[in-house]
């Protein structure tokens, strides 16, 4: 059964990055995030992205790892900062998100810092699990569904 995207379903593919994407970046922003709950069936994340903050609740991914329920809500930055210092159960994720258009899509390329310095992952959000997309030459191995590359896993390892 194909899962089509609605406002509470995120369908994404993840890839390692093997080449230089930087000449194609149209914008970027800093992200700091951590997890209040990390369980296989759900995660609760607090994130500061630029000058905004969000609380995100994600359900377990489907069997192929492409889609999962997601609910995201804006929260005051002051609240997010307090949560990041008092309520998290895992380490902080620090990364720079780069927006890179290619074909009909925009890849979000995360360059990790801190404990994961050197890791670069590209994510692509799709409207359906079978939506076709073009792969730029700098895109490497697909890691969709590999829990080792989930941010919740990275935060605690």
Annotated active-site positions, please?
35
Cα radius of gyration (the chain): 15
């Amino acid at each position: 059964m194909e899962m089509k995207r609605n406002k509470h379903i995120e369908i994404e593919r993840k890839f390692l990055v093997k080449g230089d994407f930087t000449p194609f970046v149209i914008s970027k922003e800093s992200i700091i995030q951590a997890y209040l709950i990390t369980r296989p069936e759900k995660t609760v994340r607090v994130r500061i992205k630029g000058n905004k903050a969000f609380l995100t609740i994600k359900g377990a991914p489907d069997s192929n790892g492409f889609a999962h329920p997601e609910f995201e809500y804006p929260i005051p930055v002051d609240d997010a900062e307090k949560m990041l210092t008092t309520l998290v159960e895992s380490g902080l994720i620090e990364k720079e998100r780069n927006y890179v258009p290619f074909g009909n899509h925009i890849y979000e390329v995360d360059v990790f810092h801190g404990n994961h310095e050197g890791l670069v992952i590209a994510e692509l959000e799709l409207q359906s699990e079978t939506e076709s997309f073009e792969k730029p030459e700098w895109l490497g191995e697909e890691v969709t569904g590999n829990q080792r590359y989930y941010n919740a896993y990275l935060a605690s390892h």
